[in-house]
Amino acid sequence: MKIKAYMQRFEQQGLFFKLFIVMVVSIIAVCLLTSLVTIRMSERLFTETFSITNSKVLNQIKTSMESLNDSIVNAVSHASQNGTVKNYLAGGDGDSISAGATYFSMGQQMKQIKSNVDAYDVGVTMVGVNGRSYTSDWSYWPVDTSDLADSMITKHTVDQPRRLMYQYDEETAKDGKENYIIASKALMERTSDFLYGTIYVAIREDQFKRFYSNFTSTGNDVLILDSNGRIVSSNQDKLIGTFSPQLLKDVTEMQEQQMSYKNADVMGKNHIILSNYIPEYDFYLVNLIDRQYAVGQIINVRDIALICIAIVAAALLTVFLISRRLTQSLTRLVRQMSTITEKDFGNYVNVTGSYEVQELSRAFNYMLDELNDYIARLLETQKEQRNAELAALQRQINPHFLYNTLASIKMLVQKGNKETAAETINALISLLQNTISNVSETITIEQELENMKNYVFINHVRYGGKVQVNYFVSPDCMDYHVPKLIIQPFIENAFFHAFNEKGAGVIYIMVSRQDDMLVCEVVDNGDGMDGFSDSAEGSRLPNPKSKRQLFTGIGVQNVHNRITLLYGEQYGVSISSKKGQGTKVKVTLPLILEPMSDDMS
Amino acid sequence: MKKLMFLLLASVLLLSACSSGGGSASSGSDASAKEITIWAWDKNFNIAALELAKEKYMKSHPDVKINLVENAQADIVQKLNTGLNSGTTKGLPNVVLIEDYRSQNFLQAYPDSFVDMSDKIKASDFADYKAGPTSYEGKQYGIPFDSGVTGLFVRTDYLKQAGYTPEDLQNITWDQYIEIGKKVKAATGKDMLTQDPNDLGLIRAMIQSAGSWYLKEDGTTPNIANNAALKKALETYKAMYDANIVKANSDWSQFLAAFNSGDVASVPTGNWITPSIKAEASQSGKWAAVPIPVLSDVPNSVHASNIGGSSWYVMNVDGKDTAADFMASTFGSDKDLYQEMLDKVGVLSTFKAASEGSAYDKADEFFSGQKIYADFAKWTTEVPKVNYGLHTYAIEDIMTVELQNYLNGSKDVDTMMNDVQTQAEAQLK
């Protein structure tokens, strides 16, 4: 029972829930989609902007690196064209004085050569074929100059003596490992191509780093890649000296296709790669932007999520309130309307709620008005139809009755019973007079009694007095109006059907007032019938197929219908009967003092 | 209606997102701040000594934070100049190590930027020659640190081939040294010494041994022309070249290589070379240290001199009291700490009391059982006191160039000295 009530409740709220859930899903979907699209767009915009600004930054770094290269080129060409240097590196040992002089002037030259690169913190080292070396700062690049001649750096340099090349080197100094980028060039006698030494310009990696360290930040890394794929410099110290062939592949591909940027996985993370080739160094200047981190920086997922949640919550609250109001008035309307099914067309709904609901209520009320109007008119029409039918029946006085009555009068006249004949004719006249008039007119009980007496008299004349009729009419009932020919059909019924076996008996006609009703009873002590219980709730109607009456043709069934039609269901005819004991017909009518004003003409 | 609500909501959210961070409070001047910073060069020597002092000091002062910052000497000089020139103490350390040759330059230009340590340490506790560079106008600013006391390191095996013993080199003159050098070269083919023609350390050592310097006592007037000690030193220097016993080198690594590879028979220089000589373990037992020779015919020349060496200076910045206390209670007075420094780092200090310790009295097998630290400590006390003045390096730059003219014979010594004097006076005005 409870579950049923709950289900009913749920059903009633169904519309609201459906509406609300659709709204929830829509709002969340819109919010998510909008956020996603926005994030996507800003990501792309960010990437574009970032690649443009960072390309400029890369160009700037490149320019600074080129100016270092220019300085180094100046220093190297200064050294390679210098006789003192050549003398120092290629000449033989003399005595202390000449050696001292050579060393001294080499020192002076070194200062001049070094002055070319003084803007940078670099170390210049020269090694000659005679085994001599000269270093501007021995601690800067603590390499053993005697081993240097056999090093890969020197080998590469000597292989391409006309080229200034940059190579990676690492030295283990007292205070840990230090990374270098070594610019080296063979010193060559122009005329004979004799290589008399090598000049090395050592640049500490942290010096190199200064070119770009201002531009780097978390997620925005710069690294410099040589043509072997070795990372020679980076703001990420742990990467220095490592090889990254994949990155080299990426940047060479970018260079070939002239891509401004590329998205690729580097070191297990998705990066935006920007690169710039620096031909002087044969290095690639690479900028790696950690996509996830960088995007995470500009797009605050937490804030977006919070804003989304706030908007969704606010929208849902609004939607909840509005749809709740909407559906509530609808629900109320529906509840009110549902009472119509209980055959109560007078149940008008309250015009409240939203505009639509109000319109609907108005329309519904209008419809009820119309419906009630139509029902009233239908009832009226039915009543009229019945009246017309009755009138038609009433006006057809059964010819047999007239024929028989007239035959009886002829007999009386022939027998010479003139008085009885005259009385009979009077009774017939009176009867016809009362009968052949407006069928819906009411007459007083007194007049009806008169009619009944006339009718009984005529019947006595025709069939003899075997059936006695006694009247018991309460005097205070005499002035109440009843429809014409209400009781007559029952008397006729009793006359011609109640005494077929017994042959003689008595009919009692009793009219009295009970509560607010007028009760007319026709009781006989004749044969009686089966199938009519004596109980009050017993079948009220006699055999529906009752024969047409001899006098007017108005049957018992018609009487009942007429009463209920005129006065309502609470009035009507009830019959109780028992075989061998007689029949009792009870007609209940309202108390009417005025003649019924019927518009029937 | 809905739009309005959204706008309202959005603006509320935006506003709430715009919260501002608080500003950081700036600290005012605080002489007793508990965090101090010290600048020095050479991680293995000066910084290592500082670490020992810090460790010891922290035991009794756990609330003090000491930051040791290593910088190249040239960087320190440049940063000090920049900071002091700008007149702001921001970014300057509490304590800085300054080479003795340069210290006057700073003290005279910016005496207010350094803390007078006169009442914290006793100048007489340290080697006398250190007083010149570390004090100014009677106030003791510096805490003297390492000794640059010189000695003559000799290869006993080469000397033996030439018929000499280390005893023959005790208390000799430079002229005798050259004679020995010639014989050694004749006997072994090895040069007697190695020199970088751009570094006149040996000449500085010679003149300081005679109590003379490039500058007069006032520290500003060039003292080149008519400087008898300098003249003798230059003549001696040229005599070495003329004797063809000098191997040229161009830098520190070649300098080390020259004696580590056995190319030279002696090394006249500061005691700080000791670890480098000992670095070539194969030469153990082949070395001895004897007193530096004296200049012939220069009466006040002694067998002790100095090359290099530096001292600590407390700067007048926040935390100066803490810094002064740290320096005074460690480098300024702690004999045991100096023992430890010699033992662990090889620092030969100028703190007189330190030389009484056991670490100084240790015989060194590398030097055939010679107690070289005791010897150096003894010589330290004998180093003549000179005023390095303001322009040591400026004059040496001029001298280096002019010296070549003298060495190759294009100028005689007096002309050369006069030229240097003239140039120096013109340049240092």
| Residue B249 lies in domain | 150-305+393-427
Identity of the residue in A101, A135, A310 whose CB atom sits nearest the CB atom of B13: A310
Instruction: Determine the pLDDT at residue A10.
Output: 56
CB contact under 8 A, B198 and A175: no
CB contact under 8 A, B197 and A107: yes
Average pLDDT over residues B92-113: 89
- Tokens at residue A215, please? 């531009």
**Residue A508 belongs to some domain of the structure:** yes
CA nearest to A447, candidates A434, A458, A429, A432: A434
Residue B78: which pLDDT band, with cuts at 50, 70 and 90? Answer: confident
CA B171 to chain centre: 25
Instruction: Determine the pLDDT at residue A598.
Output: 47
DSSP letter for A260, please: S
**Residue B104 belongs to some domain of the structure:** yes
Q: What is the mean pLDDT of chain B?
A: 85
Last residue of a domain, one of A208, A239, A262: A208
Identity of the residue in A99, A134, A174 whose CB atom sits nearest the CB atom of B44: A174
Instruction: Determine the pLDDT at residue A562.
Output: 77
Find the chain B residues whose C-beta atoms sit closer than 8 A to any C-beta of A. 2, 5-6, 9-10, 13, 17, 43-44, 191, 195-198, 240-254, 400-401, 404, 407-408
A285 dihedral zone (left: phi>0; alpha: psi -120 to 50; beta): beta
Count of the separate structural domains present in chain A: 2
**Residue A163 belongs to some domain of the structure:** yes
How far is Cα A513 from Cα A589, in angstroms, rounded to an integer?
A: 10
A229 dihedral zone (left: phi>0; alpha: psi -120 to 50; beta): left
Average pLDDT over residues A422-444: 78
CB contact under 8 A, B407 and A107: no
pLDDT tens by residue, B278-311: 888 899 889 999 999 999 888 888 999 989 889 9
Residue A544: which pLDDT band, with cuts at 50, 70 and 90? Answer: very low
3-class state of residue A482 by DSSP? strand
**Residue B374 belongs to some domain of the structure:** no
**Residue B232 belongs to some domain of the structure:** yes
**Residue A543 belongs to some domain of the structure:** yes
- Name the strands in the sheet holding A195-204, side by side, starting at the edge strand that comes first in the sequence: A133-135, A122-128, A195-204, A176-188, A165-173
Count of the separate structural domains present in chain B: 2
Nearest-neighbour CA in chain A from B5: distance (Å): 8
* Higher-confidence position of A341 and A364: A364
**Residue A252 belongs to some domain of the structure:** no
Which residue shows structure tokens 């019938």?
A529
How far is Cα A513 from Cα A502, in angstroms, rounded to an integer?
A: 32
**Residue A129 belongs to some domain of the structure:** yes
Phi and psi dihedrals of B110, rounded to 5?
-135, 60
Instruction: Determine the pLDDT at residue B351.
Output: 86
Alpha helices (H) in A210-244, listed in sequence order: none
**Residue B384 belongs to some domain of the structure:** no
Last residue of a domain, one of A189, A208, A227: A208
Q: Both B286 and B423 in a single domain?
A: yes
pLDDT at A601 over 80: no
* Higher-confidence position of B206 and B75: B206
Instruction: Determine the pLDDT at residue A532.
Output: 61
Q: With contact defined as beta carbons under 8 Å apart, do A554 and A394 qualify?
A: yes
pLDDT at B3 over 80: no
Domain containing residue A485: CATH number: 3.30.565.10
Q: Which residue of B has its CA nearest to A104?
A: B197
Specify the range with the lowest mean pLDDT, choosing from A211-225, A551-565, B97-111.
A551-565
**Residue B130 belongs to some domain of the structure:** yes
How far from each other are the two terminal CA atoms of chain A, in whole angstroms?
Answer: 59
| Residue A182 lies in domain | 81-208
How far is Cα B406 from Cα B417, in angstroms, rounded to an integer?
A: 9
List of chain A residues whose C-beta atoms are within 8 Å of the C-beta of residue B243: 96
Which residue shows structure tokens 């300024």?
B332
Q: Both B191 and B283 in a single domain?
A: yes
pLDDT at B22 over 70: no
**Residue A65 belongs to some domain of the structure:** no
pLDDT at A59 over 70: yes
Instruction: Determine the pLDDT at residue B8.
Output: 45
Last residue of a domain, one of A208, A243, A272: A208
- Tokens at residue B126, please? 């340290």
How far is Cα B227 from Cα B234, in angstroms, rounded to an integer?
A: 11
Phi and psi dihedrals of B255, rounded to 5?
-60, -50
Instruction: Determine the pLDDT at residue A549.
Output: 62
Q: Both B78 and B173 in a single domain?
A: no
pLDDT tens by residue, B124-169: 888 888 888 888 888 899 999 988 889 999 999 999 998 998 888 8
How far is Cα B236 from Cα B195, in angstroms, rounded to an integer?
A: 14
CA distances from A570 to A397, A560, A565, B318, B400 (A): 30, 11, 11, 116, 147
Q: Which amino acid is at B385?
A: K
Nearest-neighbour CA in chain A from B238: distance (Å): 9
Instruction: Determine the pLDDT at residue A344.
Output: 67
Contacts 24+ apart (CB under 8 A), A477-480: A477/A445, A477/A511, A477/A512, A477/A513, A477/A518, A478/A444, A478/A445, A478/A446, A479/A444, A479/A445, A479/A446, A479/A593, A480/A444, A480/A445, A480/A513, A480/A518, A480/A589, A480/A591, A480/A592, A480/A593
CB contact under 8 A, A306 and B13: yes
How far is Cα B117 from Cα B324, in angstroms, rounded to an integer?
A: 7
Residue A2: which pLDDT band, with cuts at 50, 70 and 90? Answer: low
**Residue A249 belongs to some domain of the structure:** no
Domain containing residue B138: CATH number: 3.40.190.10
How far is Cα B213 from Cα B221, in angstroms, rounded to an integer?
A: 11
Please state the ipTM of this predicted complex.
0.77
Q: CB contact, 8 Å: A322 with chain B?
A: no
- Tokens at residue B261, please? 């590879």
**Residue B11 belongs to some domain of the structure:** no
Q: Both B44 and B189 in a single domain?
A: no
CB contact under 8 A, A100 and B246: yes
**Residue B368 belongs to some domain of the structure:** no
Q: Both B297 and B158 in a single domain?
A: yes
Residues near B298 by beta carbon (within 8 Å), at least 6 away in sequence: B210, B228, B229, B232
What's the number of CA atoms in the CB half-sphere (13 Å) around residue A346? 1
Instruction: Determine the pLDDT at residue A546.
Output: 47
pLDDT at B261 over 60: yes
3-class state of residue B226 by DSSP? coil
pLDDT tens by residue, B123-134: 888 888 888 888
Residue A586, strand partner residues: A521, A574
Q: Percent of chain B having pLDDT more than 90?
A: 25
Phi and psi dihedrals of B146, rounded to 5?
-80, 155
Residues near B376 by beta carbon (within 8 Å), at least 6 away in sequence: B147, B149, B151, B271, B289, B348
Q: With contact defined as beta carbons under 8 Å apart, do A75 and A113 qualify?
A: yes
- Tokens at residue A102, please? 């050579």
CB contact under 8 A, A96 and B240: yes
Domain containing residue A153: CATH number: 3.30.450.220
Cα diameter, chain B? 114
Average pLDDT over residues B226-232: 90
How far is Cα A300 from Cα A293, in angstroms, rounded to an integer?
A: 11
**Residue A521 belongs to some domain of the structure:** yes
Instruction: Outline where DSSP puts E strands in A386-542.
Output: 442-444, 467-473, 481-483, 505-514, 517-524
* Higher-confidence position of A553 and B102: B102
